[in-house]
């Protein structure tokens, strides 16, 4: 009888401690969906730009591949897009450091650069895009590196550097 008590009492003590510790955990204690704090809302973000309430979208892999193909400074791994009058602007860091690169090219295009099947022309607009890529097609006059759309695309890229 003494042998059984010696094994049961510690096991019972461990079980009781576990129950007490776990009783503080209620269903949903680790809220994986921050929108669940607001009844009736839903979290439908699909890209990092939306997570920061960024006005820009993300360039598709097709655009990043095109930028990498014309880059003389390394691959493009992320690009920020902004739709403006006359088309789209794409800002993308280039180089070995990719997203941490200080070389940020600015391109313009008439096609939607967020589409996975993008096959449009990318026009180099700023000095970094012109000197660090072989994209030599002159941009239509509707595009300007000084436009508000171009500045917005560049500001989206800069806001992710912080």
Give me the DSSP letters along 88-126: EEEEEEBSTTGGG-S-EEEEEESS-TTSTT-----EE-S
For residue 59, being part of any structural domain is answered with yes
55 domain-assigned: yes
- Report if residue 128 sits inside a domain: yes
Asked whether residue 4 is assigned to any structural domain, the reply reads no
Q: Token pair of 108, please?
A: 């313009």
Q: Distance of CA 64 to CAs 97, 100, 110, 120, 131, Å?
A: 15, 16, 16, 12, 18
Name the domain count of the chain. 1
Contact partners, residue 26, CB within 8 Å, separation at least 6: none
100 falls within a domain: yes
For residue 67, the model assigns a pLDDT of 84
- pLDDT, one tens digit per residue, over 82-123 is 999 789 999 988 766 555 567 788 999 999 999 999 999 999
Q: Answer whether residue 17 is part of any domain.
A: no
Q: What is the pLDDT of residue 28?
A: 47
d(CA 94, CA 52): 22
Residue 32 lies in a domain: no
Range of the domain at 153: 48-159
pLDDT in tens, 45-76: 444 444 445 689 999 999 988 887 777 666 67
Q: Is the separation of the CB atoms in 89 and 108 below 8 Å? A: yes
The reported pLDDT for the residue numbered 130 is: 84
39 located within any domain: no
Q: Please, what is the average pLDDT of the chain?
A: 73
Phi and psi at residue 142, to the nearest 5°: -70, -15
Whether pTM exceeds 0.85? no
């Amino acid at each position: 009888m003494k042998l059984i008590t010696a094994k049961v009492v510690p096991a019972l003590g461990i079980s009781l401690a576990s129950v007490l510790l776990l009783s503080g955990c209620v269903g949903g204690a680790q809220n994986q969906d921050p929108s669940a704090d607001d009844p009736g809302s839903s979290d439908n973000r699909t890209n990092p730009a939306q997570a920061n309430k960024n006005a820009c979208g993300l360039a598709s892999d097709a655009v990043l591949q095109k930028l990498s193909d014309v880059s003389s400074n390394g691959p493009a791994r992320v690009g920020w897009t902004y739709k403006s009058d006359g088309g789209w602007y794409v800002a993308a860091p280039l180089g070995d450091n990719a997203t941490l690169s200080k070389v940020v090219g600015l391109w313009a295009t008439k096609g939607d650069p967020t589409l996975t099947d993008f096959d449009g022309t990318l026009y180099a607009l700023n000095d970094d895009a012109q000197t660090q890529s072989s994209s030599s097609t002159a941009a239509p006059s509707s595009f300007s590196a000084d436009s508000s759309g171009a500045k917005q695309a560049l500001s989206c890229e800069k806001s992710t550097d912080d």
